[in-house]
Amino acid sequence: MSQPHVEVYTKENCSYCEKAKDLLDSKGIEYEEYIVTGDEALFEEMVERAKGRKTAPEIFVDDELIGGYDDLSALEEAGELDAKLGLAETGDAAGAVAADGGDDVEHRRLVIAGSGIAGMTAAIYAGRANNDPLVIEGDEPGGQLTLTTDVENYPGFPEGISGPELINEMRAQAEKFGAEFENGIIETVDADDRPFRVELTNGDVYTADAIIAASGASARTLGVPGEDDLMGYGLSTCATCDGAFFRDEDMLVVGGGDAAMEEAHFLTKFADTVYLAHRREEFRAEDYWIDRIEKKVEDGDVEIMRNTELAEIHGSQADGVDHVTLLRHPDGHPKDKFDDPEFDGEVEVFDHDVGAVFYAIGHTPNTDYLEGTGVEMDDAGYLGVAGGFEGGQTATDVEGIFGAGDVVDFHYQQAITAGGMGSKAAMDADEWLENEADLTATGEAETAAGQADD
Ligand code: NDP
């Protein structure tokens, strides 16, 4: 099969564009890149070819619209991307193992699930400890930091550092110490036997002596009418990726945490007015962010809608978001009250014109692949780990499986705390692997001695 003509429309400072290119690069695919930033004609061409979608990247294979990074990685997950890229006959372009569960399943001492800051730090430590780590990158390679503009609170960078740059530096550091990376998503872990069996959604299979779950968390959505149709057509979970596409429009940010503040602040660069809708009176965000947003309110760039929830998004894929329907009640949580007869008629329902909507309502941990392993999780899917006074703090209740970063920590959720947990998990895994090796050696010696006695 010959390689098809692959085209990628990108924009500057676009983490999903980088991820799409990384995925194509990892498969050795050549592509033409068209950077739409500052080029109105090229941007219009992209929107027309992408059937009205205004998000970057937009990827085309032999003129067929694939869509954005999510669509590209969904094809990869379904095991269909290689065929589309003309790689199917040559086997796995990334050089990973075959997937039939046969003898060619590759064994690794340590598999790290996730390539955010926790996974990267674990990979650096595990590489230095000669544990030969294989990092399965997950569906957001580089993790949430790649969606952040400036990281200003990571020690060592008094001027701040961009999230993607910080992650790229960490990856280079991990690779320097021997960590390997595979672009893929873990579907299941079988912990019934040892070594663990790790199956990827693209069909690749590994066995592993130990696993560090550092697979982070994904952006939450609301499930309101209009959401499915308009995601990518004016609705986004990443202001830094897509904000510039809606220049001079009014924009709505939903949420009341640091992410909502940061996104609203960032969007003032492009928006006519940014509306920030939060479901209750008090913000969850740090004072630092609240102060910055209040300054923007004083400047007339941001308008805050407290006790307000998004009920519906109106628009079309051809023309994008047109307006939203919002609910408001002075005591907060208007959606719950709207359905409650006790508050009959008290909830205000109103429409509001905006050209784009950005969700910033937190994240859900990516831990589905550990279901059935016996690893303890709470109702939301966060992993339980040992904690406590001594070492072994990142151990789950399944020996050999460790947890680090946002899959465990829903409280601190900072780059530095995730990195710290990543290093702990690598050290805990190292200790466990050493003890396992000792036990195996003892077991082998006892077996040999037993056979000699026979
Ligand atoms: P948070 O969980 O902190 O905040 C989520 C917000 O979304 C809350 O205000 C919550 O409302 C609201 N929300 C959740 N579900 C819904 C819903 N169904 N409908 C309406 N609103 C909803 O998440 P963030 O992503 O903001 O932050 C996560 C972590 O990352 C935090 O630790 C934060 O400090 C950190 N962070 C730091 C940044 C920085 O300093 N540069 C930038 C971004 C994040 P409610 O408050 O009522 O629960």
Q: pLDDT tens for residues 416-425? A: 999 999 999 9
Q: List residues with catalytic annotation.
A: 238, 241-242
Q: Report d(CA 116, CA 337) in Å as an integer.
A: 38
Ligand 1 lined by 197 (C-beta under 6 Å):
no
Ligand 1 test: best mutation among 149, 222, 258, 407, most atoms within 8 Å of CB?
A: 258
Q: What is the CATH number of domain 6-92?
A: 3.40.30.10
The yes-or-no verdict on residue 334 having pLDDT over 50 is yes
d(CA 334, CA 325): 12
Start-end of CATH 3.50.50.60 domains in the chain: 104-219+363-440, 227-359
Instruction: Take residue 148 and report the two structure tokens written for it.
Output: 């952040």
pLDDT, tens digit, 9 for 90 and up, residues 162-174: 888 999 999 999 9
Q: Which atom of ligand 1 is nearest to the CA of 361?
A: 7
For residues 394 and 379, the answer to whether their CB atoms sit within 8 Å is no
Question: Angle between the 117-128 and 415-453 helix axes, to the nearest 10 degrees?
Answer: 40
Q: In 10 A of CB 28, how many CB atoms?
A: 13
Residue 3, burial from CB neighbour count under 10 angstroms (0-12, 13-18, 19+): middle
Residue nearest to atom 28 of ligand 1 (CA): 362
b/e burial code for range 246-258 (CB count within 10 A of at least 16 → b): beebbbbbbbbbb
Summarised one tens digit per residue, pLDDT across range 369-416 is: 999 999 999 998 999 999 988 889 999 999 999 999 999 998 888 899
**Residue 450: pLDDT band with limits 50, 70, 90:** low
What is the residue-averaged pLDDT of the chain? 90
Would the CB of 262 count as within 6 Å of ligand 1? yes
315 CA → ligand 1 middle, Å: 26
Q: Measure Cα distances from 138 to 58, 70, 143, 394, 406 in Å.
A: 20, 12, 8, 20, 14
* Residue 119 Cβ < 6 Å to ligand 1: no
Residues 6+ apart with CB under 8 A from 412: none
| Intervals of CATH 3.40.30.10 along the chain | 6-92
pLDDT in tens, 41-84: 998 899 889 888 888 899 999 999 999 888 898 888 888 898 99
C-alpha span between 239 and 262 (Å, rounded): 9
Mean pLDDT, residues 308-322: 95
Give me the amino acid identity at 158. P
pLDDT at site 134: 98
Round to whole Å and give the CA distance between 357 and 229.
13
CA 284 to chain centre: 22
Cα–Cα distance, 285 to 271 (Å, whole number): 22
* Of 279, 283, 364, 417, best ligand 1 pocket probe by most atoms within 8 Å of the beta carbon: 279
How does residue 189 score in pLDDT terms, banded at 50, 70 and 90?
Answer: very high
Q: Which residues pair with 78 in a beta bridge?
A: none
- Choose which CATH entry (1.10.10.10, 3.40.50.720, 3.30.565.10, 3.50.50.60) describes domain 227-359: 3.50.50.60
Pocket probe mutation, ligand 1, options 284, 310, 414, max atoms within 8 Å of Cβ: 284
End-to-end CA distance of the chain: 59
Assess whether the C-beta atom of 258 lies below 6 angstroms from ligand 1.
yes
- The gap from C-alpha 247 to its chain's centroid, in whole angstroms, comes to 26
Q: Is a pLDDT exceeding 70 seen at residue 444? A: no
Instruction: Tell whether ligand 1 has an atom less than 6 A from the beta carbon of residue 406.
Output: no
Cβ of residue 143 lying under 6 Å from some atom of ligand 1: no
pLDDT in tens, 85-138: 988 754 443 444 444 444 469 999 999 999 999 999 999 999 999 999 999 999
SS (H, E, C) the chain: CCCCCEEEEECCCCHHHHHHHHHHHHCCCCCEEEECCCCHHHHHHHHHHCCCCCCCCEEEECCEEEECHHHHHHHHHCCCHHHHCCCHHHCCCCCCCCCCCCCCCEEEEEEEECCCHHHHHHHHHHHHCCCCEEEECCCCCCCHHHHCCEECCCCCCCCCEEHHHHHHHHHHHHHHCCCEEECCCEEEEECCCCCEEEEECCCCEEEEEEEEECCCEEECCCCCCCHHHHECCCEECCHHHHHHHHCCCCEEEECCCHHHHHHHHHHCCCCCCEEEECCCCCCCCCHHHHHHHHHHHHCCCEEEECCEEEEEEEEECCCEEEEEEEEECCCCCHHHHHCCHHHCCCCEEEEEECCEEEECCCEEECCHHHCCCCCCECCCCCECCCCCCCCCCCECCCCCEEECHHHCCCCCCCHHHHHHHHHHHHHHHHHHHHHHHHHHHHHHHHHHHHHHHC
The model carries a pTM of 0.71
Are 215 and 137 a contacting pair, CB within 8 Å? no
Q: Is the CB of 309 under 6 A from ligand 1?
A: yes
pLDDT of residue 232: 80
**Is the bond preceding residue 57 a cis peptide, omega within 30 degrees?**
yes
Does residue 171's CB lie within 6 angstroms of at least one atom of ligand 1? Answer: no
Q: Which of 370, 351, 248, 250 has the alpha carbon at shortest distance from 308?
A: 351
Ligand 1 centroid from CA 385, angstroms: 23
For residue 98, give both structure tokens.
């075959």
Q: Look at 77 and 29; give whichever has higher pLDDT.
A: 29
In terms of DSSP bridges, do strands 251-254 and 274-277 run parallel, antiparallel, or are they unpaired? parallel
Q: Which two tokens stand for residue 30?
A: 């050549």
Q: What is the pLDDT of residue 38?
A: 84
- Residue 317's pLDDT is 86
pLDDT score recorded for residue 92: 42
Distance (angstroms) between ligand 1 centre and the Cα of 222 equals 13
Closest residue by Cα to atom 31, ligand 1, is 413
* CATH top class, domain 104-219+363-440: alpha beta
State the closest ligand 1 atom to the C-alpha of 335, by its place in the atom list counted from 1: 19
Average of per-residue pLDDT across 261-290: 96
Cα–Cα distance measured from residue 241 to residue 219, given in angstroms and rounded to the nearest whole number: 14
Q: How many angstroms separate the CA atoms of 122 and 135, rounded? A: 9
CB of 261 within 6 A of ligand 1: the answer is: no
- Amino acid sitting at position 63: D
Nearest to 362 by CA among 164, 240, 222, 252: 222
Residue 252 near residue 260, CB atoms below 8 Å: no
Q: pLDDT at position 453, please?
A: 58
